[in-house]
Amino acid sequence: MLKDTLKIVITGHVDHGKSTMIGRLLLDTGSLPKERIEEIGKVSKDLGKEAELAHLADQLREERENSMTIDTTQTFFKSHKKNYVIIDAPGHVELIKNMLTGASLAQAAVLIVDTEEGIKEQTRRHAYLLSLLGLSKVIVVLNKMDIVGYDKGIFEATKKELLKFLAGIGIRPISVIPASAKSGANISKKSDKMKWYKGPCLLEALDELELDKKTVRKPLRFPVQDVYEIEGEKIIAGRVASGTIKKGQKVVVFPSGNEAKIRAVKVFGARRDEAAEGESIGLTLEKPVAIERGEFIVEKDYAPKPTNRFKGNVFWISDEPLRIGKTMTLRCATQRAKCVIEKIESRINSSTLETIEENAKELRLNETGSVVFRTKTPVVAEKIDFIEELGRFVLEDGAKLEGMGIVL
């Protein structure tokens, strides 16, 4: 029987133990070859350090020398229940773009907080970004419990403060776990040093996460990623954003309105009768029709309503402020459209969630706000809680990523 595969992102303030946590998971699950452990030990010796668990995750030489994660890295491990792709996201504020890249790929998140240091600005900002990305499966690990003597009172006080903040941004953690990545307490097995804690260890909490069931009640949305021709056969590639698509199904290419019928559904070269939300597939049609990247395959009776004006919650990551009247490129799923910033209804501090200004003229670096867009060509944009893939967008100036957001 095939195991489920879950993509998780590890987030939190710098030096709160993300890389050490990953190193511990890799060691405890036997997910590292002997040669890899020996290589890490040699590099650590060359740098004049003991072999640290964090070095198992910090794969770049520059990271080891500076003791920081500078890029998102993907690592694989497995338990007896699941396969995992684990994404380590940088904690430094200047590396927020890299954190966003990692988090956008994940299905669940682990938010790490150093119990001794407590909740920091970057803890709040990372949590806010998880909320913005729509990640509802969040496990909180209150790390470095060994430093505070595994004290229940300190754990409960930190937990209470953090839960209050998370509730304000709509995050309700599945578990809040006291742990020590360095000593291994409550990572892959329960620790005798915290008998007062009755919940799962981290690996148990991850194994208990259920993957979202494929949505069948929502209308079909299949954004076209690309069109290939292989041995004279035209294959339409993309990822099912919502609904299901079946062999023999009558569909419409949107927005052209061309009608078509699905000849075959292909997944890694194999033919399937149908595919559901979240699956990356190839399609062939009974008769050729004009179709290109950025268009959609939809159900005839449930076609989307395109719009050239919508409101979104934006997180701004550029040194140059976002100002009213600025023209940018908006990307949503496979769509690209020029847009103009029509209104900035609010400016909000992303780490405290305090409103800085109503009816603002600009958004500055690491601020968030409610923004009204007008696109030069109609786009398909859905509310984030209806169709997630069409409820997220990014903003670019030329080839530079400057902001991201969700459709309100």
Q: Is the pLDDT of residue 77 over 50?
A: yes
What number does CATH give the domain 307-407?
2.40.30.10
Q: Tell me the pLDDT band of 91, cut-offs 50, 70 and 90.
A: very low
Alpha-carbon dihedral of residues 224, 229, 231, 234, nearest 10 degrees? 50
Tokens of 112: 């790490």
Percent of the chain clearing pLDDT 90 (strictly above): 39
Integer angstrom CA distances of residue 186 from 37, 42, 89, 354 = 23, 29, 22, 35
Mean per-residue pLDDT over the chain, rounded: 81
Q: Which of 124-128, 332-336, 360-364 has the lowest mean pLDDT?
A: 124-128
Domains 4-208 and 221-302 share a fold: no
Domain positions in the chain are 4-208, 221-302, 307-407
Q: Is the pLDDT of residue 356 over 70?
A: yes
What number does CATH give the domain 221-302?
2.40.30.10
Q: Is the pLDDT of residue 8 over 80?
A: yes
Q: Is the pLDDT of residue 63 over 50?
A: no
CATH superfamily of 4-208: P-loop containing nucleotide triphosphate hydrolases (3.40.50.300)
Q: What are residue 5's DSSP bridge partners? A: 83
Q: Is the pLDDT of residue 236 over 90?
A: yes
Give the pLDDT confidence score for residue 96 in this predicted structure: 47
